[in-house]
Chains A and B, each alone.
Chain A
């Protein structure tokens, strides 16, 4: 049911309420400054698509390089995601965690530099999103500082065929002398089976009180490995394309969903592509995806872990991953919430996984 207050949005008020005074020069200057600041804050690069999550606890600063003293590779049959990952994802049911572990790929790669070990546990992922689980372990008897604000100098992850891509690390938990991290990758190109290089330099701890960082472990560490997990994403049949910003705007032609992410395949008309490439992708960055389940529960923007938007000619891809696992069997509806003229509009795509 439409509310009159919403309906009045289309009403063009003719100034019947009296003359509105213009803003003073000082007000105009202040407002413009505030707007430009918002534009700067929200202008994320389109290539590579990279967005930081709200709870980011790890970031890179300057460069440094030191010694790598050891490396090893151990194959394993099954990948245990462990309690840290389960807790970080909001403790989903055990069977969901196990299912992810089966489709994941164990790495068991480790390197030790000056007594500090960085160990890659494994990767889980799908077509355009992957999680790399890794630990940092201090020598026996040593402990990390109390507050959880760490930074690696020059952390990077490079797929061999990247296209547009972005990544960020998050601290999942701390157990004694071990930090458990998850690195989340979003990519335009398919990640499955790609070879990647993961590297980072000195690990530091940032003290908010003194505003200084102190060295915990000196790197560099560098690993090269394939993303050999099984892609369990499925394509949702769409009866018609969705055009959130009218026929002249961007059309959503397909949706792909997996236990960890949702991926929209979009396109735009040639005229729009010529005229407003950057604007269109900016709108897509704020597109909210809400997943509705049979039991009435939802996963929405508040649960979002990362987002990425990449464009190439007429095609645009939008990725969203969440801090909750998506139960594909229970998924009944995907809602795409687009802001048009400052108003949210909801487009619904029913899901029938059984068919």
Chain B
């Protein structure tokens, strides 16, 4: 079944359509939620998973196969659900000064074309990072893991992880400035 067919089934017959996408992508969504929310909140993780799939049903009209896969779209919704959970809890796992790419640099994400171009640049810039820098960047900014946790996992010093993160941020910023669609 193609993504477009799955989306159509979620619209026409939510029970059956959702059953399929939960079976297909429930595991990866739960893994993302687990990594972001942490092992101490199993009930909240399941609640977030249910809410994320409810949003899949509600927003399925916004899914366009030509813009990406259904899997990526659903995982994105799950990740946003985890972000919402963290922010509601008052937990901001990444300090603002580290999270802001560059003061004064803003991205034009209002326009659909600009959003797509910038999304491609983000994808390419991160996928272009050498290992283990790429893994470190994803663990830190996608899954919001602590620097110490990443360092322990990769058996590195925290300083080394921070250095590699700074390098990744610089690369991303450079590519967005050179090729991205920016606000003045």
Contacts and interface: CB of A to CB of B under 8 A. Distances in A.
Interface of A: 1-5, 7-17, 20-23, 27-28, 30-32, 34-36, 38-39, 42, 245-247, 249, 272, 275-276, 279-280, 282-283, 286, 339-343, 345
Contacts of B54: 35, 38-39, 42
B169 interface: yes
Given A11-B142, A341-B62, A27 B26 contact: yes
A341 B77 contact: yes
Given A5-B141, A21-B27, A31 B51 contact: no
Nearest to A27: B26
A36 B94 contact: no
A9 B18 contact: no
Nearest to B168: A4
A286 B59 CA distance: 11
Interface residues of B, number: 72
Given A11-B122, A279-B11, A17 B143 contact: yes
Given A8-B141, A39-B14, A341-B77, A283 B103 contact: no
A101 to B, nearest CB: 40
A283 B54 CA distance: 12
A2 B80 contact: no
A5 B139 CA distance: 11
Contacts, number: 170
Nearest to A1: B100
Contact of B72 (A12, A22, A286): A12
Contacts of A27: 26, 30, 46
Interface in B72-124: 72-73, 75-81, 83-84, 94, 96, 99-101, 103-107, 109-110, 112, 115, 118-119, 122-123
B27 A283 contact: no
Contacts of A14: 127
11 contacts: A5-B141, A8-B141, A9-B76, A10-B76, A10-B123, A20-B30, A21-B31, A23-B27, A31-B50, A36-B18, A275-B61
Contacts of A28: 19, 22-23, 26
Interface of B: 11, 14-15, 18-19, 22-23, 26-28, 30-32, 35, 46-47, 49-55, 57-62, 68-69, 72-73, 75-81, 83-84, 94, 96, 99-101, 103-107, 109-110, 112, 115, 118-119, 122-123, 126-127, 134-135, 138-139, 141-144, 169, 172
A279 B76 contact: no
Given A3-B100, A10-B123, A13-B142, A280 B61 contact: yes
Given A23-B23, A36-B18, A342-B80, A282 B58 contact: yes
Contacts of A13: 32, 75, 138, 142
B62 to A, nearest CB: 6
